[in-house]
Chain A
Amino acid sequence: MKRLLRPLPAALVLLALVAIWELYVDLGGADRLVLPPPHDVAKALYDNRSLIWSNFLVTAEEVLLGTLVASVAALALAFAIHFSTTLRRAIYPLLIGSQAVPIPVFAFVLVLWLGFGLAPKVLVIALVSFFPIVVTTLAGLARVDPDLLKLMRTFDAPRLRTFRYVEFPSALPGVMTGAKITVAVAVIGAVFAELAGSNSGLGYLYQQSQNQFLMPRAYATVFVLSAFAILLFALLSLAERLALPWAYRPRGDQIA
């Protein structure tokens, strides 16, 4: 029972916020054209459900492909950096520096270069998602207890077996942390990539709605985008608990 009641406070706060929003607009605090009341947004979500759904599928495909590409590339690079000090010195500073580059700005260039299709979106999403996974994976690999590595040396373990049996599993929680950070960023990346040039997707639908002053529909697409990011995060958390139960530490407030 207590388990079921756990999300209750957050739900109440959310409900209160929506109520304040509704009241604020109803009492004339904002122009309905700019800020539609929540019930208008809900209505737009329902009325446009098939339109939103078909555009959602486009964005979802971009996000999933982009994060997949980012994950594979990030793991490969993190492992390579872990094994080679030279590579670490050569690439890691650039990698950190690259985070200062506002990648969405290049979305337009990438669209000109790669066309209106899936490719530039996947690339933008992969670029923004890549870094958190590299960093958290490297942090995970670095967190391995040095005494454990000594132990493996007294067991005559070759480098790769130490990696396979000790370092790689140790790094998995770090990889999952990176993936969880990434999903929210990836959805934002998808929106920017679509704004730069596309003819479908939720980012595109948002822009169209805004241009036509269909604000309830614009807000409805934002709602779906946020819900999607939250869903991905929740799915990853669930996967982490199922696949890496040993790494899952219940917090004090959850034990009760």
Chain B
Amino acid sequence: MIEAPEKEPRDVQPPHGVSVEAVSRTFVTRRGPVEALARMSLRVAPSEVVAVVGPSGCGKSTLLELICGLQAPDAGTVRAAPAALMPQRDLLLPWLGALDNACLALRARGVDRDDARRQAEPWLERFGLAGFERTRPAELSGGMRQRVSFLRTLLAGKPVLALDEPFAALDAITRLEMQGWLSHVLETEPRTVVLITHDVEEAIVLADRVVVMSPRPGRTVAEVEVDVPRPRHRTDARVVELRERALGALGVAE
């Protein structure tokens, strides 16, 4: 268990959850204003895993940056416990081994190297990365890199994990493996998770609830409660049914 740092959330409520209320965000570009989000709302209860799916360019990443406090909304309110980001590309530092990459968030907080390594080492083993402590990202497989990246975000010790299409860059087989792996990790290490994905099946398999967004400007068009016990299988009748419902909301029903 990793202790969250003693730091007040940006607002007292909700303590470890996320609440986005009627948020709008417009970017000014050279070709005029682009409305990324229009009165988007999202609530994530503490320890809930919520997946956000939507078409490309629907403002999913903007939503995540708002939750992480990297952007401020033009209108509406964002109340969120401190959140750590896991970017879409692993963004591991090419000059560091897996262990030191996993330590980055700790080092950023000012933890000295030996302490950080002591904290990260047992996790590396748990994540199937034992023996790769000193291996640089270039020599790690795609799945391993995403595990190091996830560990780095986890070790930031924030109550909320903001995962931005974490497995989008992986090949299909590795992606399935990683989904199973993440599902298992979140069972043993519960966190409040906002998972951005364009993979509806991934959303249904991993999340407690799936939020479907509209094309830009993004807002919630449907919510799908995933009432299926874990571990879930893609072929379960209920999983298939929920997937069809989410796809229907996206306007791509089969």
Contacts and interface: CB of A to CB of B under 8 A. Distances in A.
A145 interface: yes
Given A150-B85, A154-B70, A155-B156, A246 B91 contact: no
Given A147-B87, A246-B138, A153 B94 contact: no
Contacts of A181: none
B104 A155 contact: yes
B70 A147 contact: no
B108 interface: yes
Contact of B108 (A147, A150, A162): A162
Name the prevailing secondary structure of the B interface residues. loop
A65 to B, nearest CB: 30
Interface string A148-174: 101111111100011001100100000
A157 B94 contact: no
A147 B104 contact: no
A245 to B, nearest CB: 8
Q: What does DSSP make chain A's interface, helix, strand, loop or mixed?
A: helix
A80 B125 CA distance: 41
B87 A151 contact: yes
A244 interface: yes
Contacts, number: 56
A146 to B, nearest CB: 10
Contacts of B110: 161
Interface in B80-110: 83-85, 87, 89, 91, 93-95, 104-105, 107-110
Contacts of B85: 150-151, 154
Interface string A91-132: 000000000000000000000000000000000000000000
Contact of A161 (B84, B107, B158): B107
Q: How large is the interface on B (under 10, 10 to 19, 20 to 34, 35 or more residues)?
A: 20 to 34
A247 interface: yes
Given A154-B156, A155-B156, A247 B107 contact: no
Contacts of B89: 147
A246 B93 CA distance: 10
B242 interface: no
B168 to A, nearest CB: 14
Contacts of B7: 156
Contacts of A156: 5, 7, 108-109
Contacts of A151: 85, 87, 91
B209 interface: no
Given A150-B65, A246-B138, A155 B109 contact: yes
Interface string B107-122: 1111000000000000
B68 interface: yes
A79 B43 CA distance: 43
Interface in A44-91: none
Contacts of B93: 165-166, 169
B136 interface: yes
Contact of A246 (B68, B95, B108): B95
Q: Which 5 A-B pairs have the closest CB atoms?
A: A157-B108, A155-B108, A154-B85, A155-B105, A246-B94
Given A150-B68, A244-B95, 14 more contacts: A150-B65, A152-B108, A154-B68, A154-B156, A154-B158, A155-B84, A155-B108, A156-B108, A157-B108, A157-B109, A162-B108, A246-B94, A246-B136, A247-B94
Interface of A: 145, 147-148, 150-157, 161-162, 165-166, 169, 244, 246-247
28 contacts: A145-B91, A147-B87, A147-B89, A148-B87, A148-B91, A150-B65, A150-B68, A150-B70, A150-B87, A151-B85, A154-B83, A154-B85, A154-B162, A155-B84, A155-B104, A155-B156, A161-B107, A161-B108, A161-B110, A162-B108, A165-B93, A165-B104, A165-B108, A166-B93, A169-B93, A244-B95, A246-B138, A247-B95
